[in-house]
Structure 1
């Protein structure tokens, strides 16, 4: 991990415009949770709907998209990446550093608010808050790697990421049974289910499938991003 690259990446992610967007996501989740906490009804079902469907199913992919693409796509679009690539740094180290910053930022703005929202809604019962927090941690890492890769391979990373997050994850992944196996959300829920109490969280993918897929997708996206970034270097030199 390179401290200079990390500092520049974090500064870009927490800039005025993107920083406001990052604050909106956890603020919305906490606001909805605060309002719902005072309502009557089945608290378990309410918590599952808010943390699972709203938090993990919609807000987390969007936040991962903002962070993952923002970690590198902006520099590629405005051409400033050339100055970074001119430094005597291995391309894999640039990608790895940006990924670490992206994952850390996603965790700070997604996993921590998820824990707070879960405690607000349901306390520590059934390990529900902890389960969804762990689900947000592992899913957030995978989303960060995938969207970082999109930021390297296409100039339309935001559009492609939104299509994946909103169409595949939120729509197809929730309602088409066969598609759930290829859903980062379902992989995260599977890990969260293993952490929480029996039956507290519902997941449609087994833990033995979810964990290897999370590891493979995260690692593969990181390697492909590094390879692609090396190609951009060659193109610039030519």
Structure 2
């Protein structure tokens, strides 16, 4: 199912000049903020959790997911070049799976690793907080990649819709509105952080571990399945 040619083209699209700038700028911003906070004075576990949970998980990680997820297929659909890919004897499910694997790899690399580094800079991984949030960022990256890849197949305005979702739903409602938190990818992922950190870390989530993992898996599998189905309805003329 994994196609090396499709993977190479997807990596090239994601790491092109414009998207690469965003992919590098977002984690760099997180690290700069972490260093600045650390230099300003003593940083305790609560400050670390506020930065990693309220800024990294709520804003940086979903934004990276938007860039990588939509960029894995959206531009090819927008400019019509996807028809050349579809004309080749390659299963469309294989195309989606390959692009999803690439998007997940890029999203995890540019989110989970910087989140761990930021946490380590802030408190040296006290109470396993850096590891816990890095694991949550990785889990969220998988779901975001699938959801935003799907979005790239259903709308030509995938980036705009993704940004609205990331900045309004995840960063605002998913962090502040109690009822909406249960439908937030970041809250589902935070169940892993809560488990890894244990009671000493004080990380909380609005859903339980089993429910959180189930919802993350459902979002990932469901997003990939429907994206594959959407790709099947494209004709070689690039029309549905």
1:98-122 deviation per Cα after TM superposition (whole angstroms, max 9, x unaligned): 0000000001111111111111111
- How much has 1:36 moved relative to structure 2? 1.1
8 Å contact 1:128–1:197 — kept in the other structure?
A: no
Structure 1 residues 193 and 234: alpha-carbon distance in aligned structure 2, compared to 1, 3 A threshold: same
Structure 2 distance, partners of 1:32, 1:7, is: 33
Shift of 1:199: 4.4
Aligned twin of 1:217:
219
Aligned to 2:92: 91
Take 2:226 and 2:130, find their aligned partners in 1: how far apart are those partners? 34
Aligned partners of 2:115 and 2:130 also within 8 Å: yes
2:83/2:236 contact within 8 Å kept: no
- The answer to whether the 8 Å contact 1:190/1:210 transfers is yes
Whether contact under 8 Å (2:80, 2:238) holds in the other structure is no
CA distance in 2, matches of 1:29, 1:99: 25
In 2, the alpha carbon distance for the partners of 1:6 and 1:198 equals 41
Q: Which moved more, 1:75-84 or 1:115-124?
A: 115-124
User: Partner of 2:191 in structure 1?
Assistant: 190
Give every structure 1 segment of 4 or more consecutive aligned residues whose post-TM-superposition deviation is greater than 3 Å: 233-238
What is the CA–CA distance in structure 2 between the aligned matches of 1:37 and 1:134, rounded to whole Å?
Answer: 22
**TM-score when normalising by structure 2:** 0.95
Distance in 2 between residues matched to 1:172 and 1:111, nearest whole Å: 22
Q: What is the alpha-carbon distance in structure 2 between the residues aligned to residue 54 and residue 172 of structure 1?
A: 13
Distance of 1:74 and 1:128 partners within structure 2:
37
For the pair 1:172 / 2:182, whether they are aligned, the reply is: no
Following TM superposition, by how much is the alpha carbon of 1:204 offset from its aligned partner in structure 2, in angstroms? 1.5
Q: TM-score, normalised by structure 1?
A: 0.96
Describe how 1:53-72 pairs up with structure 2 within 5 A.
Answer: 53-72=54-73
Whether the 8 Å contact between 1:68 and 1:145 is mirrored in structure 2 is: yes
Deviation (angstroms), 1:191: 1.1
List per-residue Cα deviations over 1:111-159 (Å, max 9, x = no partner). 1111111111111221100000000000011001000000000111111
- The answer as to 2:59 corresponding to 1:23 is no
Per-residue CA deviation, residues 190-231 of structure 1 (Å, 9 max, x unaligned), is 111111131421212111210100001110000000000001
- Specify whether residues 199 and 176 from structure 1 end up closer, same or farther in structure 2 by C-alpha distance, changes over 3 A only: farther
Task: Quote how far apart the aligned CAs of 1:234 are.
Answer: 6.6
Q: How does 1:120-135 map to 2 (within 5 A)?
A: 120-135=121-136
Gapped regions of structure 2 (runs ≥ 5): none
**Deviations 1:147-196 (CA, angstroms, capped at 9, x unpaired):** 00000001111111112111111111222211111100101111111111
2:212, 2:67 → 1: CA distance?
24
Q: Secondary structure at the match of 1:182?
A: coil
Q: Which residue of 2 aligns with 1:204?
A: 206
Q: How many equivalent residue pairs?
A: 238
In 2, Cα distance between equivalents of 1:188 and 1:209 = 10
> 2:235: which partner in 1?
233
